[in-house]
Amino acid sequence: MRRSRFVSGLSVGLSMAAAAALSAMPTWVAAQQPPATQPPRPPAGFRGGTQIKPGEDCPAGMTEIRPNNCLAPASPPPTIVDYRPKSTLIVPAAGMKWKAKYPVVDFHGHPSGLLGNADGIARLGASMDSVNVRLMIAADNVSGDRLTRTMELVNGSPTMKDRVRLLTGVNLNGVGPGWAAKAVAQLEADVKGGAVGIGEIGKGFGLSTKKADGTRLRLNDPDLDPIWEAAARLKLPVFIHTADPQEFFREVDNTNERWLELTLFPERLYPQDKYPSFNQLMAERDSLFLRHPKTTFVAAHLGWHANDLGRLGRMFDKMPNVLAEVGAVLYDIGRQPRSAHDFFIKYQDRLLFGKDSFQPEEYPYYWRVFETRDDYFDYYRDYHAFWKLYGIDLPDVVLKKVYYQNALRIMPAIQIPGWPK
């Protein structure tokens, strides 16, 4: 394990400062100072170890047990997959509950496997009821005949016709001469067919999608301007997933927080010699958002800035046309309860609830993080996060905005009666 260079440097700095202060003291004051601290003694039963210099890492297979002293376990350690410590912490807790406190618009839904027939739509409704999701925005990037057929099935359900809405897709492959006119015409047709927004435009946009001439389609490519301008004219929010977590763009080593995920799913890694960098993609995305101030954009997964809420806040400050949804980044929100609480309070009008994959048993983790003050509880996927979560205890006024009011505000087409005030 790595020893903090800050701690080592701080220790050295404090020692030097203390020595300088002591030399400047009068003799009678210096005589009353405690004796200099002796080097720490090894713990009882110490088996020997390896000394390291301040700021160095322990050798492989060892961990730092005292300042600058490393030791290997006496027994073979379990792997990261097999190490499953059980917490002994006992604290008051609200615990897990299935239903959200207020009805929810899931802006980032992927229930596509349940939208193909009447039986599946009915089962979707039952699952939504179990967690208090009142309206599902299916963000499956569908268009044309598929969108029309799905809307016919939804509208044919007496119980679900007001509970599912679809975003339309935009085919970004082969952008070039003549593409924009066809894309805008299809967008207008899909809106007539019931689409209430655009998206989820997937992460391939910017990473791997190619133009007609074979070059990479940049997120801020001016050939796409007619689509974004049409979205503004039609009052359609544009839901964009840009890149992936920043850890997916760096080396997979023992300092990468997502090591386990990237070794379970190596296809999620983006080597620098094959893909644009994370920051390049973010710069292109921000350029797109800034160039179209009349278009409402929604950044999926908090823009992959849940681990750096300051960066997301600066984006919000600079781009009033941008919102973000919280899907699949609960592991970052819940490990910074005070910072996340303050961020959600400050930007309460810019945040939307979204879940991403439709797994009903995972929604209660979101309710627990957003609605409680609970300490130190498990996340639902070990490979996403090996740490625990904490409740951020949002007030009711903020919960209502995140759960449904902000979505209703930016999407006039989903207005249905009966929401709490």
Q: Which CA distances in Å does 186 have to 61, 144, 148, 346?
A: 59, 7, 12, 38
Task: Give the CATH number of domain 104-414.
Answer: 3.20.20.140
pLDDT of residue 393: 99
- Tell me how far apart the alpha carbons of residues 117 and 157 are, in angstroms, rounded to a whole number: 10
With H, G, I as helix, E, B as strand and everything else as coil, classify residue 8: helix
Task: Provide the terminal-to-terminal Cα distance of the chain, rounded to the nearest Å.
Answer: 51
Write down the mean pLDDT value for the chain. Answer: 90
Residues 82-99 have pLDDT tens digits of 988 999 999 999 999 999
- The one-character DSSP state at 405 is I
Task: Name every residue whose Cβ is closer than 8 Å to that of residue 394 and which is 6 or more positions away in sequence.
Answer: 341, 344, 345, 370, 371, 402
**DSSP string for residues in 324-365:** EE-TT-HHHHTT-HHHHHHHHHHTTTSEE---EE--GGGHHH
- Tell me how far apart the alpha carbons of residues 231 and 303 are, in angstroms, rounded to a whole number: 20
What does the block give as tokens for 88? 């002994």
Q: Nearest-CA neighbor of 107 among 399, 420, 324? A: 324
**DSSP string for residues in 257-268:** TTHHHHHH-GGG
pLDDT of residue 320: 99
Q: Residue 373: is its pLDDT beyond 80? A: yes
Q: Residue 25: is its pLDDT beyond 60? A: no
pLDDT of residue 43: 56
Residues 43-93 have pLDDT tens digits of 555 567 899 999 999 999 999 999 999 999 999 999 989 988 999 999 999
- Nearest 5°: the CA angle 149, 151, 156 is 100
pLDDT of residue 181: 97
- Tell me how far apart the alpha carbons of residues 185 and 172 are, in angstroms, rounded to a whole number: 14
pLDDT of residue 366: 99
- Nearest 5°: the CA angle 97, 334, 368 is 10
Report pTM: 0.87
The residue length of the chain stands at 421
Q: Which residues pair with 285 in a beta bridge?
A: none
> How far from the centroid of its chain's Cα atoms is residue 199's Cα?
17
**Beta pairing, strands 104-110 & 63-66:** unpaired
Which residue did the predictor score with more confidence, 274 or 414? Answer: 274
Domain ranges of the chain: 5-71, 104-414
- The one-character DSSP state at 412 is G
pLDDT of residue 29: 38
Phi-psi region of 163 (alpha: psi -120 to 50; beta: other; left: phi over 0): alpha
